[in-house]
Amino acid sequence: MRANQRGLLLDFGGVISVTLFERHRLSERLLRLPEGTLTWRGPFDPQGDDLWRDMLDDRISERDYWALRAKETGARVGEAWDMLAMIRQTMGDDPNLHVRPEARDFVYLAKAAGRRVGILSNELELFYGAETMAKLDILKLMDSLVDATHTKILKPDPKAYALGCEALGLPCHDVVFVDDQPRNVEGAKQAGLIAIRFDVANPAASFAEAAEALQL
């Protein structure tokens, strides 16, 4: 990598992987629930999702949101679930099918241009589990992976971004950071990174914006 060449730091859930909101119909089939049972849609319908609005207003954390949704969904099939259990039960056999094609293409593009690419996640192993992570081909392309499951430092704590940039081997001002949560994007900006808000409803436009910031 040439001097002063920017690197890329990506969130995982929502940015690299599709959201659970986007695969409700698949989840319902896997869980043998009637179509339309899962009605919470987060960023796709904030007004119809009270818990999502509570999270956006900092009344609950993102982890709290998913813990409550996991408990609610597990109850529908008569089980007590945490987030890991919900992911396992709604993922199917191949987690690679839930990686956004746009994300995969963007990572390949960045790597082909000689850029360092890493992940900064609040809950990768906590939510997905080590077994699922081992199956994810895109993780094998990463130069670094910082996961708060192990560091215990959650975005938007400035220390989280510092760890992500350090693992990538770049100063914060040379790192393009992409996340779908407004608080994490704002935290990255305050930490000195070049931050891009990822729009889960328009992944192609978000990755195009990131490519421009990455100077590809």
Give a three-class secondary structure readout of 174-199. Answer: HEEEEECCHHHHHHHHHCCCEEEECC
**Which domain, by its residues, includes 38?**
20-95
Q: Note whether residue 208 is domain-resident.
A: yes
148 and 169 both lie in a single domain: yes
Cis, bond preceding 156 (omega within 30 deg of 0): yes
At residue 59's C-alpha, the angle toward residues 201 and 161, to 5°, is: 65
CB-CB contact of 7 with 73 (8 Å): no
Does the pLDDT at position 2 exceed 60? Answer: no
* pLDDT at residue number 92: 87
Q: Give mean pLDDT, residues 120-147.
A: 95
Q: What is the pTM of this model?
A: 0.93
84 and 38 both lie in a single domain: yes
Name which of 49, 135, 141, 61 is nearest 91 in CA terms.
135
69 and 118 both lie in a single domain: no
147 and 83 both lie in a single domain: no
Among 32, 66, 95, the domain-final residue is 95
Question: What pLDDT, in 10s, does the model give residues 152-175?
Answer: 999 999 999 999 999 999 999 999
Instruction: Read off the tokens for 64.
Output: 């709290």
Tell me whether strands 117-121 and 144-147 are parallel, antiparallel or unpaired: parallel
Q: For tokens 């609040």, what's the residue?
A: 122
83 and 153 both lie in a single domain: no
| From 17-21, 46-50, 88-92, 98-102, the region with the lowest mean pLDDT | 88-92
Among 70, 95, 120, the domain-final residue is 95
CB-CB contact of 74 with 85 (8 Å): yes
Q: Note whether residue 2 is domain-resident.
A: no
Instruction: Read off the tokens for 125.
Output: 């192993």
- Helix, strand or coil for residue 120? strand
- Strand (E) or helix (H) holding 119: strand 117-121
